[in-house]
Amino acid sequence: MQLENPSAGTSVTPYPTKIVIADSLPDSAAGLLRQMGWKVDARARRSREELLQDLKDADGLIVRSNTQVDAELLASAPQLKIIARAGTGVENIDVRAASARGILVINAPGANSVSVAEHTCALMLALGRSIARADTAMKQGQWTKKELVGIELRGKALGLVGLGRVGQGVAFRARAFGMHVVAHDPYISEQLARSLDVELLTLNELCTQSDFVSLHAPLTATTRRMFDAKQLAKCKYGAQLINTSRGELIDESALVDAIESGQIGGAGLDVFECEPPIDSRLIALPQVVATPHIAGSTQEAQQLVGTETAAGIRDYLHLGIVQNAVNFPSMPLEELKRLQPFVDLAEKLGTFIAQLATGRTQTVSIRYYGGLTTGNNEPLVGAVLKGLFQTMLSSTVTLINARSVAEARGVDVVESRSPRPRNFTNLLAVKLDTSNGELWVEGANFEQGGARIVLLDGVEIEAGLEGTHIVIRNLDEPGVVGTVGSILAECDVNIASFALGRGPAGAVSVISIDDSMDSGKRDLDEGLLDTLRAVPAIRSAQLVRI
Residue 501 lies in a domain: yes
Length of the chain: 546
The verdict on whether omega for the bond into residue 276 sits within 30 degrees of 0, i.e. cis, is: yes
Angle 106-108-110 (CA atoms, 0-180°, nearest 5)? Answer: 140
Higher pLDDT pick, 246 / 232: 232
259, 174: one domain: yes
Q: Contact, 265 vs 240, CB < 8 A?
A: yes
d(CA 454, CA 440): 11
pLDDT at 308: 92
Q: Please say if the pLDDT value at position 7 is more than 70.
A: no
One-letter amino acid for residue 255 of the chain: L
Tell me whether residue 360 is one of the annotated catalytic residues.
no
281, 146: one domain: yes
Q: Tell me the CA distances in angstroms from 482 to 188, 334, 487, 490, 511, one per residue in order.
A: 40, 49, 9, 12, 13
Find the Cα–Cα–Cα–Cα dihedral 190, 195, 198, 200, rounded to 10°.
0
458, 485: one domain: no
The helix, strand and coil proportions of the chain, stated in percent and rounded to the nearest 5, come to 35, 25, 40
Residue 3 lies in a domain: no
At 282-308, the pLDDT tens digits run 999 999 999 999 998 898 998 999 999
- CATH code where residue 63 lies: 3.40.50.720
Which among 27-31, 342-346, 504-508 has the top mean pLDDT? 27-31
454, 510: one domain: no
At 176-213, the pLDDT tens digits run 999 999 999 988 888 899 999 999 999 999 999 999 99
Q: Please say if the pLDDT value at position 491 is more than 60.
A: yes
- How many domains does the chain fold into? 4
Q: Where are the beta strands (DSSP E) in 143-205?
A: 157-161, 180-184, 199-200
127, 257: one domain: yes
d(CA 165, CA 43): 32
Q: Please say if the pLDDT value at position 521 is more than 50.
A: no
481, 450: one domain: no
pLDDT at 220: 81
User: What is the arithmetic mean of pLDDT over 449-453?
Assistant: 85
Q: Please say if the pLDDT value at position 1 is more than 70.
A: no
> Which 3 state secondary structure label does DSSP give 40?
strand
Q: Contact, 280 vs 253, CB < 8 A?
A: no
One-letter amino acid for residue 205 of the chain: E
> Which 3 state secondary structure label does DSSP give 512?
strand
User: What is the arithmetic mean of pLDDT over 133-161?
Assistant: 93
106, 166: one domain: no
Q: Please say if the pLDDT value at position 518 is more than 70.
A: no
User: What is the arithmetic mean of pLDDT over 123-152?
Assistant: 93
Strand partners for 508: 473, 501
**Residue 324's pLDDT band (boundaries 50, 70, 90)?**
confident
pLDDT at 41: 97
- CATH code where residue 480 lies: 3.30.70.260
Find the Cα–Cα–Cα–Cα dihedral 177, 182, 188, 193, rounded to 10°.
60
Catalytic residue among 293, 318, 403, 539: 293
Residue 534 lies in a domain: yes
105, 119: one domain: no
User: What is the arithmetic mean of pLDDT over 229-243?
Assistant: 97
Residue 11 lies in a domain: no
pLDDT at 288: 96
Tell me whether residue 469 is one of the annotated catalytic residues.
no
Nearest CA-CA partner of 484 in 424, 403, 425, 539: 539
Tell me whether residue 293 is one of the annotated catalytic residues.
yes
Q: Please say if the pLDDT value at position 13 is more than 60.
A: no
pLDDT at 399: 67
391, 458: one domain: yes
Strand partners for 445: 451
Range of the domain at 544: 469-546
Q: In three state form, how does the secondary structure of 417-437 look?
A: EECCCCCCCEEEEEEEEECCE
Residue 326 lies in a domain: no
Higher pLDDT pick, 451 / 123: 123
124, 240: one domain: yes
The proportion of the chain whose per-residue pLDDT surpasses 90, expressed as a percent, equals 58
**Residue 272's pLDDT band (boundaries 50, 70, 90)?**
very high
At 87-133, the pLDDT tens digits run 877 878 998 888 777 788 999 888 889 999 999 999 999 999 999 99
Residue 408 lies in a domain: yes
Higher pLDDT pick, 447 / 44: 44
pLDDT at 332: 54
At 25-37, the pLDDT tens digits run 999 999 999 999 9
510, 476: one domain: yes
pLDDT at 218: 84
Residue 84 lies in a domain: yes
pLDDT at 493: 86
Residue 9 lies in a domain: no
User: What is the arithmetic mean of pLDDT over 325-339?
Assistant: 67
pLDDT at 197: 93
pLDDT at 99: 78
Q: Please say if the pLDDT value at position 520 is more than 50.
A: no
Catalytic residue among 85, 246, 409, 469: 246
At 352-370, the pLDDT tens digits run 999 998 888 999 999 999 8
**How high is the mean pLDDT of the chain?**
88
> Which 3 state secondary structure label does DSSP give 224?
coil
Q: Contact, 350 vs 386, CB < 8 A?
A: yes
User: What is the arithmetic mean of pLDDT over 461-475?
Assistant: 91
d(CA 499, CA 495): 11
- DSSP characters over 207-220: HHH-SEEEE-----
Catalytic residue among 260, 275, 477, 490: 275
488, 454: one domain: no
> Which 3 state secondary structure label does DSSP give 289?
strand
Nearest CA-CA partner of 203 in 175, 162, 252: 162
pLDDT at 8: 41
